Amino acid sequence: MTSSVDIDGELLVAAAQVVSEGRVLRPGWFSCRNGRIVTVGEGSPPRSPDLDFATQTIVPGFVDMHVHGGGGATYTDGDPEGVRQAAAFHRAHGTTTTLASLVSAGPSDLLAQVRGLRELVADGVIAGIHLEGPWLSHSRCGAHDPTVLRTPDPDEIERVLRAGAGTISMVTIAPELDGALDAIARFADAGVVVAVGHTEATYEQTRAAIAAGARVGTHLFNAMRPLHHREPGPVLALLEDERVTVEMVGDGVHVHQGLLTHVVGDVGAGRVALVTDAMAAAGMSDGSYRLGVLDVDVTDGVARVRATGAIAGSTATMGLLFERALAALPGPADAALTAASAMASSTPARAIDVDDAGDLAPGMRADWVVVDDGRVHEVYRRGARVADRAAVANDG
């Protein structure tokens, strides 16, 4: 019992289950004031709750560290209205904290895109910028325009950092490129999380990248040298180092669900971050779209570059990925719930150094998702509802 807690003037929220700090509180409750969690408790709440989800589960708001757009709009051109539209779409499906991922572009376009997104970080629309390229492998370019890929140039990196003015949160680099290790060290020194991806790197080159400061594997297995018994490549190097968080696009298209389950069982949910890698077609019908300058065709919900057939991101939402992970993870229900929640929230938040989101604990932002049988039911950000039930009834 927690009846002695004084929560006068605070919003009190109760649910059949609340996931908080890696535990399932059953029943659970929490209070918030001014958009922040104040108190979390288990058992009967200290007074009649203001919001009571008596048959449902509350998990922390989802954190997507790799997403290019959604709802018919994109982050990749830096247009403020499009960015707001895409962020609002994903927010309605549970993503209360998001990076805006750019694709490879020429030097002047890249700087313009970074400057366009910078103000939206200050406005709180996005949490930061992810540069997925242009310092990537030509042979593993995936849905990136190969004509703009290049080796890291120290002067360009300084220009990009100045343009971002502290808003660049993550950058993906292929560590085998000339100058890549110095670039990784420079970005890391600037407080930017460095990810290894779109790469032909060997096992040794990947270990060198980690030693230089890389801490994330961009969409593990996708667009990187595969595992081989004589040359394990980047996959093994990323998985075996406890400092590294690996992204996985758990939509059933990018990787087999059994492989996702295996990786989680091997390294733990605390090192696996679910990411959508979504593009503008997320939430939209099949048809023709663009990712950066490339034409993309979406058929049966799968996006592919028209010219090459390469997978061009996804059409998924974090709500869908959470639901799929929850259904696939083995073990007791509570273990699956806390693992899926970690992969969708606390693990990506920690990976990109967001210290006030990704969990329901005192002092954290009051961002939460109400789920019913694993599906998103309602979404709250900073204590306010951002999507009604009808808006998310057909999540995914």
What would the pLDDT profile of 13-22 be if each residue is shown by its tens digit? 999 999 999 9
**393, amino acid identity:** A
Whether 307 maps to a domain, the answer reads: yes
Q: Are residues 42 and 109 in the same domain?
A: no
**Across residues 349-375, what is the average pLDDT?**
97
Residue 198 placed within a domain: yes
**17 plus 150 within the same structural domain:** no
Taking only the tens place, the pLDDT of each residue in 165-180 is 999 999 999 999 999 9
Burial readout 219-230 (b: 16 or more C-beta within 10 A, e: otherwise): bbbbbbbeeeee
Indicate if 277 belongs to the active site: yes
Q: What is the CATH number of the domain that holds 2?
A: 2.30.40.10
Instruction: Please tell me the pTM assigned to this model.
Output: 0.95
Last residue of a domain, one of 324, 340, 367: 324
Same domain flag for 56 and 78: no
- Confidence (pLDDT) at 395: 41
Is residue 387 over pLDDT 70? no
Asked whether the predicted pLDDT for residue 390 surpasses 90, the reply is: no
- pLDDT confidence band for 389 (50 / 70 / 90): very low
pLDDT (average), residues 288-310: 95
Kindly state the helix (H) or strand (E) to which residue 369 belongs, with its residue range.
Answer: strand 368-372
Give the mean model confidence (pLDDT) for residues 194-201: 98
Last residue of a domain, one of 324, 341, 369: 324
Give the residue from 265, 298, 324 where a domain finishes.
324
Q: Cβ contacts of residue 81 below 8 Å, gap of 6+?
A: 73
DSSP string of 248-311?
E--SSSSS-HHHHHHHHHHH-GGGEEE---B-TTTTS-SEEEEETTEEEEEETTEEEETTT--B
> pLDDT value at position 9?
81
> Per the structure, how many domains does the chain have?
2
Average pLDDT of the residues in 301-327: 96
Same domain? For 387 and 255 the reply is: no
Same structural domain for residues 24 and 6? yes
Mean pLDDT (the chain) is: 95
Evaluate whether residue 180 is within a structural domain.
yes
Which CATH number covers residue 240?
3.20.20.140
Tell whether 68 and 50 lie within a shared domain. Answer: no
Q: Are 243 and 131 found together in one domain?
A: yes
Per-residue pLDDT of 217-263, as tens digits, reads 999 999 999 999 999 999 999 999 999 999 999 999 999 999 999 99
Catalytic residue of the set 77, 145, 241, 277: 277
Same domain for 154 and 225, yes or no, is yes
Helices then strands (H, E): number in the chain?
A: 11, 21
Structural domain for 124, as ranges: 62-324
Contact 360, 20 (CB under 8 A): yes
Q: Rounded to whole angstroms, how far apart are CA atoms 12 and 72? A: 36
- What would the pLDDT profile of 98-154 be if each residue is shown by its tens digit? 999 999 999 999 999 999 999 999 999 999 999 999 999 999 999 999 999 999 999
Do 186 and 279 reside in the same domain of the chain?
Answer: yes
